[in-house]
């Protein structure tokens, strides 16, 4: 199912982490060199700038091919527009598979662009075909049919955006069911999204420690982050009111304003704060950072409703408050308090690190043999790779 | 197993204890390192460094944006002298703090004394620009010479950046100097009238870009603030390429600018290979592609052939980038 051997992903991850440790001076350059030499991987991975560049160039190439194909292949009335869409979508997937097999590209920009272009074109093409064949097909069914694509892509290509897109797809199905298919209490939608987010979050938290799922750790983390955002946005008063305005009658809207609005205002303000507090209590950086971003969104929502002071005054007051808060926090954390510190590297490298680390090559050789077997077609599970459930 | 993307939200916690144990089992790290790393990743010690830095930076930006907006909205209603006095007081407090806390000058990189120091120096410089701009608007300090409002901060910021080793302040200095010599872009006028460059501006842009590149290379060879090289080279590359593209688009002597573009491309590729700089490689590729495609689009006007050119050219760039990258990695 996985397009890459788990050992490659693991080796790449370990070298990546070792690079991070080296940057923080927690290991010596010699140790990093040895780790790099031991965990060699054929994966071609780009740095951020290069990845963006390759992504843009590849996307533009696909767009050019698509434009050319629609100009030349489609019929004059564009009634069979789905043919080039499907053909190029499939071509993208074929190219991606070929590139992975030959060049072992992984998060290099080219594979990302081919994957997203392939997904968008294939899903759009298939839905067009369905729409032409069954014009009365409900919109929710469209979403339901689209859902497996990002999910399968996330599983096969270990793609985080596809993993998050699967969750969004699920929420879109819920929204469509409420908005278009059944005229049921729309105010329940936000609670359903909250419930879905909570269930998804705790499921992901439960499965993240499963060794079998280790190659998909980043996908699991992406879903966790998405659920935290969807939970806070589902109860955000601006989001809820925008949805209400789009689909509720005036009477129902008035009832909402009287009965439910205070709850949503409180939710908008309290949830981001609780993320930050829980993040600090549990030492959970993900919760803490999502909480800080959600807090910024919550302040923007607050500004949307409350105009007690001019924008320039609000900016100055907020800016000064943030600066003062940071200064106070730094002063408080000058000496480590309850395990919290403001320092970048809390632990220093021990002074007497041996210049030469002893390398146990036995296990690594076994793994490399397993990878070689994989490359030659005889799939065999390596020592540590076995734990990954290939 | 972790991914780089989730690092933003997971931070240092992304590395799990199992990996640390694994590295120790393989004798890649010592027992002492294992214990310390285990302590670090088991969250016994939880660093809030990046979170505090981020909050501080947003605070500084919001504060300066609010003050600028306040100055703009209340030009005729607020006591000017009082406002300038307030700005001056805040500016001198920030800069005094930086001077008091700053470490001794060194030609090599000096470790920053802390987050507050970094941002107080940065805020002080931003307040200096604001004070000067406001004073010029109200009292015509430089007798209508707006270019001096850019030049004076540049003359203050660049020495400050060297003395207190601050790349943010250096970037402010580079931008201020560019505005002083006339290299400015107003988004509103750009949207209204489009891009209207002139020959002098293009020459100035090329000269300024070349100067920045030379300073960057000199700082590298002379070992004076070697780490500033990236700021100089990147800014210089952008100025050079933008000026060259402007010339290519607007001037009649297209061949001259094509030659300049080729020289820049060659130099950029050489630099990327020499210093293993992927970012310069991407900058060179993007700008060169834009320039060449502009010329090709003037030759190929057939709309059915243009998509073929787009596909072939982009594929060529991708292959070239990958091949060059391979050379960079092995070179």
Distance of CA A132 to the CA centre of its chain: 33
How long, in residues, is chain B?
331
Average pLDDT of the segment spanning A72-82 = 64
Range of A245-259, A335-349, B205-219 with top mean pLDDT = B205-219
Tokens 């689009």 locate to B297
The C-alpha atoms of residue B160 and residue B91 are separated, in whole angstroms, by 14
The pLDDT value given to residue A79 = 60
Tokens 């009292």 locate to B139
Contacts 24+ apart (CB under 8 A), A273-276: A275/A228, A275/A232
Does B33 sit within 8 Å of A26, measured CB to CB?
Answer: yes
The pLDDT value given to residue A317 = 93
Distance of CA B222 to the CA centre of its chain: 22
Show me where the domains of chain A are located: 140-234
Does B55 sit within 8 Å of A160, measured CB to CB?
Answer: no
Question: CA separation (Å) from B320 to A99, A300, B229, B323, B324?
Answer: 16, 45, 26, 5, 6
* pLDDT above 60: residue A184: no
The C-alpha atoms of residue B200 and residue B98 are separated, in whole angstroms, by 39
Looking at the partner chain, which of A26, A218, A329 has a beta carbon nearest the beta carbon of B3?
Answer: A218
The whole model's pTM is what? Answer: 0.81
Shortest CA distance from B23: residue in chain A: A35
Residues of B in contact with A353 (CB under 8 A): 30, 32-33
Residues 6+ apart with CB under 8 A from A333: A340, A341, A342, B48
Distance of CA A281 to the CA centre of its chain: 24
Q: In angstroms, how far is the first alpha carbon of chain A from the final one?
A: 8
Beta-carbon neighbour count of residue B320 at 10 Å? 16
The pLDDT value given to residue B266 = 93
3-class secondary-structure state, position A337: strand
Among A224-233, A369-378, B249-258, the minimum mean pLDDT is found in A369-378
Shortest CA distance from B285: residue in chain A: A53
The pLDDT value given to residue B94 = 94
Beta-carbon neighbour count of residue A36 at 10 Å? 16
Average pLDDT of the segment spanning A372-377 = 53
Q: Where are the alpha helices (H) located in chain A, listed in sequence order?
A: 6-23, 29-38, 48-72, 82-103, 110-133, 139-146, 148-157, 160-176, 188-207, 217-234, 237-247, 250-259, 261-281, 285-305, 311-332, 361-375, 383-386
* A203, A207, A209, A212 alpha-carbon torsion, rounded to 10°: -170
Q: Quick one: CA dihedral B281, B285, B286, B291, positive or negative?
A: positive
CA angle A124, A125, A130 (to 5 degrees): 95
ipTM above 0.85, yes or no: no
Closest approach of A241 to chain B, Cα-based (Å) = 28
The pLDDT value given to residue A185 = 56
Does B51 sit within 8 Å of A288, measured CB to CB?
Answer: yes
Residues of B in contact with A342 (CB under 8 A): 47-49, 52, 115
Residues of A in contact with B1 (CB under 8 A): 9-10, 13, 214-215, 217-218
Tokens linked to A50: 């290069």
Residues of A in contact with B65 (CB under 8 A): 315, 319
Average pLDDT of the segment spanning A306-327 = 90
Q: Where does chain B show beta strands of DSSP type E?
A: 46-47
Looking at the partner chain, which of B3, B30, B307 has a beta carbon nearest the beta carbon of A354?
Answer: B30
Residues of A in contact with B114 (CB under 8 A): 330
Does A312 sit within 8 Å of B69, measured CB to CB?
Answer: yes
The pLDDT value given to residue A384 = 43
Does A318 sit within 8 Å of B66, measured CB to CB?
Answer: yes
Residues of B in contact with A292 (CB under 8 A): 51, 54-55
Does B119 sit within 8 Å of A316, measured CB to CB?
Answer: no
Question: CA separation (Å) from B274 to A17, B287, B327?
Answer: 27, 20, 11
Percent of chain A at pLDDT > 70 equals 80
Among A32-36, A292-296, A354-358, A385-389, the minimum mean pLDDT is found in A385-389
Stated as kind and residue range, the H or E segment containing A340 is strand A340-341
The pLDDT value given to residue B41 = 72
Shortest CA distance from A276: residue in chain B: B51
A225: closest CA among A154, A296, A299, A287? A287
Average pLDDT of the segment spanning A21-48 = 83
B66: closest CA among A228, A315, A271, A181? A315
Closest approach of B239 to chain A, Cα-based (Å) = 19
Q: What is the tens place of the pLDDT at every residue in A87-121? A: 899 999 999 999 999 888 888 889 999 999 999 99
* pLDDT above 50: residue A390: no
Does B43 sit within 8 Å of A315, measured CB to CB?
Answer: no
Closest approach of A235 to chain B, Cα-based (Å) = 22
The pLDDT value given to residue A254 = 66
Residues of chain B where predicted confidence (pLDDT) is lower than 50: 1-7, 11-14
Does B67 sit within 8 Å of A312, measured CB to CB?
Answer: yes
Closest approach of A65 to chain B, Cα-based (Å) = 6
* pLDDT above 50: residue A388: no
Q: How many CB pairs under 8 A join A and B?
A: 250
Closest approach of A307 to chain B, Cα-based (Å) = 15
């Amino acid at each position: 199912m996985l397009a890459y051997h788990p050992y490659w992903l693991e080796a790449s991850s370990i070298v990546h982490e070792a690079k991070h440790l080296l940057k923080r001076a927690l290991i010596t350059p010699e140790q990093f060199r040895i780790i790099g030499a031991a965990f060699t991987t054929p994966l071609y991975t780009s740095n951020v700038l290069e990845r963006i560049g390759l992504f843009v160039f590849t996307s533009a190439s696909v767009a050019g091919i698509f434009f050319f194909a629609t100009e030349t292949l489609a019929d004059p009335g564009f009634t069979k527009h789905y043919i080039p869409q499907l053909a190029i979508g499939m071509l993208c997937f074929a190219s991606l598979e070929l590139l992975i097999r030959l060049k072992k590209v992984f998060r290099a920009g080219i594979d990302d662009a081919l994957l997203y272009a392939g997904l968008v074109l294939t899903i759009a093409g298939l839905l067009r075909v369905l729409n032409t064949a069954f014009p009365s097909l409900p919109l929710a069914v469209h979403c339901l049919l689209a859902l497996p694509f990002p999910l399968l892509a996330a599983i096969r290509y270990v793609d985080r955006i596809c993993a998050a897109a699967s969750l969004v797809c699920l929420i879109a199905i819920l929204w469509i069911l409420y908005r278009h298919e059944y005229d049921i209490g729309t105010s329940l939608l936000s609670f359903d999204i909250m419930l879905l987010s909570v269930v998804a979050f705790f499921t992901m938290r439960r499965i993240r420690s499963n060794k079998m799922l280790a190659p998909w750790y980043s996908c699991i983390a992406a879903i966790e982050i998405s659920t935290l955002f969807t939970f806070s946005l589902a109860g955000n008063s601006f989001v809820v009111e925008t949805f209400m305005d789009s689909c509720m009658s005036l009477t129902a809207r008035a009832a909402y304003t009287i009965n439910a609005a205070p709850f949503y205002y409180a939710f908008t303000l309290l949830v981001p704060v609780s993320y930050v507090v829980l993040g600090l209590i549990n030492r959970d950086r993900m919760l803490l950072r999502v909480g800080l971003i959600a807090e910024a969104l919550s302040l923007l929502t607050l500004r949307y409703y409350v105009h007690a002071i001019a924008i320039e005054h609000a900016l100055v007051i907020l800016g000064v408050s943030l600066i003062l808060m940071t200064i106070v926090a730094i002063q408080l954390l000058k000496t480590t308090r309850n395990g919290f510190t403001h320092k970048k590297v809390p632990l220093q490298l021990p002074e007497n690190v041996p210049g030469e680390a002893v390398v146990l090559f036995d296990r690594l050789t076994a793994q490399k043999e397993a990878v070689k077997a994989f490359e030659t077609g005889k799939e065999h599970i390596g020592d540590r790779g076995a734990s990954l459930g290939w | 197993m972790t991914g780089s993307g989730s690092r933003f939200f997971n931070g240092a916690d992304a590395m799990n204890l199992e990996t640390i144990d694994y590295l120790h089992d393989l004798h890649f790290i010592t027992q002492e390192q294992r214990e310390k790393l285990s302590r670090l990743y088991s969250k016994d010690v939880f660093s809030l460094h990046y979170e505090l830095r981020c909050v501080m930076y947003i605070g500084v930006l919001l504060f300066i944006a609010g003050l600028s907006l306040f100055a703009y909205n209340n030009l005729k209603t607020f006591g000017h002298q009082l406002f300038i006095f307030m700005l001056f007081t805040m500016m001198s407090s920030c800069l005094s703090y930086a001077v008091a806390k700053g470490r001794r000058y060194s030609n090599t990189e000096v470790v920053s004394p802390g987050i507050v120091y970094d941002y107080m120096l940065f805020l002080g410089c931003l307040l200096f620009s604001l004070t000067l701009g406001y004073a010029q608007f109200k009292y015509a300090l430089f007798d209508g010479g707006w270019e001096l409002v850019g030049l004076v901060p540049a003359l203050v910021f660049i020495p400050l950046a060297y003395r207190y080793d601050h790349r943010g302040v250096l970037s402010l200095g580079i931008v201020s100097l560019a505005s002083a010599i006339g290299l400015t872009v107003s988004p509103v006028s750009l949207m209204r009238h489009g891009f209207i460059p002139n020959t002098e501006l293009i020459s100035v842009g090329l000269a300024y870009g070349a100067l920045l590149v030379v300073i960057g290379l000199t700082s590298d060879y002379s070992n004076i603030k070697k780490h500033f090289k990236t700021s100089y080279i990147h800014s210089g590359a952008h100025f050079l390429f933008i000026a060259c593209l402007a010339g290519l688009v607007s001037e009649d002597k297209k061949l001259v600018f094509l030659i300049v573009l080729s020289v820049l491309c060659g130099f950029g590729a050489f630099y990327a290979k020499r210093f293993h700089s992927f970012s310069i490689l991407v900058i060179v590729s993007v700008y060169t592609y834009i320039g060449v495609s502009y010329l090709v689009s003037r030759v190929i006007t057939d709309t059915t052939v243009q998509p073929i050119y787009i596909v072939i050219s982009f594929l060529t760039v991708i292959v070239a980038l990958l091949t060059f990258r391979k050379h960079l990695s092995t070179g």
